[in-house]
Structure 1
């Protein structure tokens, strides 16, 4: 009996060590034809099988998509893995690297604008997905963070609809976008759109995002906002201690605070899953 117990213990330990040592999920790079002879490089996470799969186009923030030694930063890979568990494919276009630019957080005159180049990237990515047999044409959604979230808000405005790429997006999710421009433009959305932001976000503006959504409710019932009490910018990132921004890191905003909020992170994961299942 004792020998059996020892054998069982060693077996379980081996399984645990194997699981712990399992390699991180590796994305597949795909190239997407875009406007002005641009080839848009993107990273694809796809479930096993032939599909068709509901697919999420995920838009990185001003720090860019990849790190120095990895094609996708852990924060975006974390979300891709979460979405894969719900049966979604995830496609992350690299708006900066495809144009041979680095991080754009502290660039005074950005050459890749959320409302222009990044919306064009979104539309090119959707057009490419509509031609893929593994992608469910009527279940393509958007998710974005910070600058990528601002691009999402521009892409879902009624004026931004591309008639050549039907059907339309299924839904959209924007994590802490900069709503200050949209708040003065009478923003509205043509698809169900969820905004998620922390009440203590001093990089973006929760007050402006509230104004954007409240204004949209007068024209449409498609927009909703969740403001997390006590949460700062980047609240959904894992294992990021709250800190004030300082220094000259081009991959970080110039000012404000960033950091994980465990409760907001967990709740946002649940809400994203529910929103995409609509």
Structure 2
């Protein structure tokens, strides 16, 4: 059988809200799984290793002690961890350390680099679509459930930019049903995701935010983010909330995209839409991001008792 074309693949992901009827859900689920399966599954580490903050790699990182520990699946930006000729993702290295210091196991994944892809910032490569990233996150969560020292009730997904979009998709009931990856994560934090309707070169749009989100989620956005405008996220998150999704969000008024990226302070580029953007590191916003993220997860865990 020939592989599914990108046009057909993305046409099948018009999922702003699934139509009623089990037959349609089954039909969509089969095609979602086929879309994600165009790229091979990741192979997740089974033994913890030491974290390099300055050169982070896909790996399993564990605090000292026997556990059980809460765990985070950490999904980075559209350039992954920079293992294929790019610069190391220093901000993700620092976040992994913050999570370890806070008592979390960290399963750091790399949807791009582990598949030999340098970047998906301008377009998908190697069939690494956002839907593939969502499956990576859910499979990583499933993998964590096989590890003895992981607290199975306290597994969260945290993503930045591209990884944040993967988390939003993975929080959708329809995608969870399609992927058949078990109970999934218990909560998620998406940091500066892009929420607009994506239109591919083939003209087939698909959504990042669906109204059937069924996991508690915190979405953090930048009021001066020109790459991933907060306004487009807020309108869709409001629609999801009105439909019963357990989501909350906060907009940092003066933050740009990648506000936590000290190594990219002042970096300027033309984004995938042709707009000139500049990143500004903001230490205060980064500290508040840390505070809000851990406070939100603590609140979710407390609600489980």
2: CA distance, partners of 1:39 / 1:144 = 17
Deviations 1:112-170 (A, max 9, x none): 111x2111211221121111101111111001011111111100012122585444412
Match of 2:283 among 250, 262, 273: 262
RMSD: 2.9
Task: Give how far 1:72 is off.
Answer: 6.0
2: CA distance, partners of 1:108 / 1:127 = 25
Counterpart residue number, 2:261: 237
1: CA distance, partners of 2:275 / 2:108 = 25
2: CA distance, partners of 1:86 / 1:126 = 19
TM-score by length of 1: 0.77
Counterpart residue number, 2:80: 64
Q: SS of the counterpart of 1:225?
A: strand
2: CA distance, partners of 1:260 / 1:71 = 17
Deviations 1:72-127 (A, max 9, x none): 6211110011111211011111111221211221346672111x211121122112
Q: SS of the counterpart of 1:111?
A: coil
Change (3 A) 1:219 1:108: closer
| Residue correspondence of structure 1 range 155-194 to structure 2 within 5 A | 155-162=170-177, 164-181=180-197, 186-194=210-218
Match of 1:134 among 114, 124, 149: 149
Counterpart residue number, 1:224: 248
Counterpart residue number, 2:137: 122
Match of 1:40 among 31, 38, 43: 43
2: CA distance, partners of 1:100 / 1:129 = 24
Q: SS of the counterpart of 1:245?
A: strand
1: CA distance, partners of 2:210 / 2:110 = 29
Q: SS of the counterpart of 1:256?
A: strand
Does the 8 Å contact 1:40/1:93 carry over to 2? no
Q: Which runs of 5+ in 1 are unaligned?
A: 1-33
Task: Give how far 1:38 is off.
Answer: 3.5
Q: Which runs of 5+ in 2 are unaligned?
A: 1-35, 45-57, 198-205, 300-305
Does the 8 Å contact 1:61/1:147 carry over to 2? yes
Counterpart residue number, 1:55: 71
TM-score by length of 2: 0.70
Q: SS of the counterpart of 1:226?
A: strand
Change (3 A) 1:184 1:148: closer
Change (3 A) 1:264 1:212: same
Counterpart residue number, 1:7: none
2: CA distance, partners of 1:184 / 1:131 = 29
Match of 1:274 among 273, 278, 295: 295
Counterpart residue number, 1:23: none
Counterpart residue number, 1:12: none
2: CA distance, partners of 1:92 / 1:100 = 17
Counterpart residue number, 1:151: 166
